[in-house]
Amino acid sequence: MSVFYGDIDVNNMEPPQIMTSHTCPLCGFSLEMLEDDELVWFGCGRCLKYVTAKKRDLVAKFFDYRHKRLMWSTMLEELYSSYTSKFRQL
Ligand SMILES: [Zn+2]
C-alpha cells in the first residue's frame, strides 16, 4: 500500500465521500474516505491529512470473491491503522 501526505487539493475530489466511525487522533474529527478514478483517500477533512491506497490493490486484498463483496470494516481498520501510524506523532 502506498502512503503519502502533503498538500492535497481536496476541492478537486469527486464524491462519493464516506464518513467513517473512526476519529482523527490529532483533532477528534470524524475521518472520511474519498475516492477518485485510481485511489482511495482516507483521512481527516479538518487536518487535511490523508493516506492513499490504489483501488486495484485494495480490491485484490479485501474483496471477498466467495461472497462477492468488499470487506469494508477490515479495509477501514487497515487504512485507519495506516493513518494513525503516520500522523500520531505530529
Ligand atoms: Zn484531524
Condensed to tens digits (0 to 9), the pLDDT of residues 55-87 reads: 999 999 999 989 988 898 899 999 999 999 999
The DSSP bridge partners found for residue 16 are: none
How is the chain split into domains, by residue range? Answer: 10-87
What does pLDDT average to over the chain? 83
CA of 83 to the centre of ligand 1 (A): 11
CA of 67 to the centre of ligand 1 (A): 34
Helix (H) or strand (E) holding 33: strand 30-35
Return d(Cα 90, Cα 70) in angstroms, integer: 32
Residue 16: DSSP 8-state: P
CA of 48 to the centre of ligand 1 (A): 7
Here the cell at position 72 is 469494508
% of the chain exceeding 70 in pLDDT: 79
* pLDDT of 29 strictly over 50: yes
Contacts of 80 (CB under 8 A, 6+ apart): 20, 22, 31, 42
CA of 10 to the centre of ligand 1 (A): 14
CA of 14 to the centre of ligand 1 (A): 20
CA of 30 to the centre of ligand 1 (A): 8
* pLDDT of 30 strictly over 60: yes
